[in-house]
């Protein structure tokens, strides 16, 4: 992206963040089909405009609940689809529900392959994404670390309502009264789709613990084969350290907010025994025994 264009986007973002920081928690959210969304990022008009976005067979979509590793996955796929192919494509505003109607129009003319991301529920996505069997990479992260990451993010990102304490955030998270709704309902809804050939599930934890083998699976899923050198190159460009170091270019003043710790098990520093048990019970009631629940390796990552 030309430097001036990047600067304009950052300047617009700064203005928006300054405006958002003056608003009350109620003014920051709106309800769309029973789920809360950040008013400064999306609107009814953006959801309506999205309905006219026709998917293409070679589109690629990253699907995440917030804080599960969206930007990490976008960067990895961006490297695979564009950088390794010597295509100069900027990573800009990939999250489709954050696009205004004008940007949606712009996307319609973008060359293939297009890379998108979304936090939307499957039933709310434009139907053509399923009809065209767009490749979707679902990134899930254990619900305890996701909660802690989301707590910090909510308090540092002015477009989201903040919380006076971890306890208050935990309550809202468990009740699904946070932006993008309940982690558990979101995961259950996506679980209905995971047997489809165009859908692949990757976990944050597997990416952390065995990046190379996950990268090879992802590239295989996208129909690409990588040399050893390419694997090493993508790995070096997508480590937490390198993404954090570059974050003021990619995310402006919110760089350190998007790239906070990037670790597994930080939840142990926040959850009380009681909160941990409450979430265990919720998991048992909802995702335990589902295919997605199995993939999460809950006992390994969510036990004190």
Q: How far is the CB of 237 from ligand A3P (least distance, A)?
A: 9
Instruction: Based on the shown chain and the rule CB under 6 A, indicate whether residue 78 belongs to the binding site for ligand A3P.
Output: no
Question: Quick check: 243 binds ligand A3P (CB under 6 A)?
Answer: yes
Residue nearest to ligand A3P (CB): 262
Residue 240 contacts ligand A3P per CB under 6 A: yes
Three-state DSSP class for residue 6: helix
CB nearer to ligand A3P: pick between 149 and 275: 149
38, 69, 143, 161: residue in contact with ligand A3P (rule CB under 6 A): 69
- The alpha-helical segments, DSSP class H, found in 192-254 are 204-209, 211-221, 228-237, 240-245, 247-251
Torsion sign (Cα): 87, 91, 181, 208: positive
> Which of 29, 37, 53, 71 touches ligand A3P by CB under 6 A?
71
Q: Per residue in 247-265, is it b (16+ CB within 10 Å) or e — as a string?
A: beebbbebbebbbbebebe
Specify whether 119 is catalytic: yes
Q: Per-residue x/- mask for ligand A3P, residues 123 to 162, rule CB under 6 A? A: --------------------------x--x----------
Judge contact between 66 and 180, C-beta under 8 A.
yes
In 210-225, which positions are buried (b, 16+ CB within 10 angstroms) versus exposed (e)?
A: ebeebbeebbebbeee
Structure tokens, 207: 């990416």
**Is 63 one of the binding residues for ligand A3P (CB under 6 A)?**
no
- The answer to whether residue 66 forms part of the interface with ligand A3P (CB under 6 A) is yes
Please, which of residues 154-213 interact with ligand A3P by CB under 6 A? none
């Amino acid at each position: 992206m030309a430097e001036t264009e990047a600067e304009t986007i950052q300047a617009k973002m700064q203005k928006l963040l300054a405006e958002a920081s003056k608003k009350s928690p109620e003014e920051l959210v709106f309800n769309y089909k029973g789920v809360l969304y950040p008013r400064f990022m999306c609107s009814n008009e953006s959801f309506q405009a999205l309905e006219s976005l026709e998917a293409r067979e070679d589109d690629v979509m990253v699907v995440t609940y917030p804080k599960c590793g969206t930007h990490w996955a976008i960067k990895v796929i961006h490297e695979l689809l564009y950088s390794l192919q010597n295509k100069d494509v900027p990573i800009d505003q990939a999250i489709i529900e954050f696009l205004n109607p004008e940007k949606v129009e712009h996307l319609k003319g973008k060359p293939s392959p297009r890379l998108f991301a979304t936090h939307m529920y499957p039933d709310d996505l434009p139907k053509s994404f399923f009809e065209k069997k767009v490749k979707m990479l679902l990134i899930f992260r254990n619900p305890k670390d996701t909660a802690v990451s989301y707590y910090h993010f909510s308090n540092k990102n002015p477009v989201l309502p903040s919380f006076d304490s971890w306890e208050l955030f935990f309550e809202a998270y468990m009740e699904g009264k946070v932006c993008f709704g309940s982690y558990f309902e979101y995961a259950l809804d996506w679980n209905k789709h995971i047997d489809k050939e165009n859908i692949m599930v990757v976990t944050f934890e597997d990416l952390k613990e065995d990046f190379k083998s996950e990268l090879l699976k992802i590239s295989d899923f996208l129909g690409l084969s990588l040399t050893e050198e390419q694997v090493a190159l993508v790995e070096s460009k997508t480590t937490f350290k390198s993404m954090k170091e570059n974050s003021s270019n990619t995310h402006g003043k919110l760089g350190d907010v998007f790239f906070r710790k990037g670790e597994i098990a930080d939840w142990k520093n926040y959850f009380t025994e009681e909160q941990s048990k409450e979430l265990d019970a919720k998991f048992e009631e909802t995702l335990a025994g589902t295919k997605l629940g199995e993939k999460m390796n809950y006992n390994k990552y969510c036990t004190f």
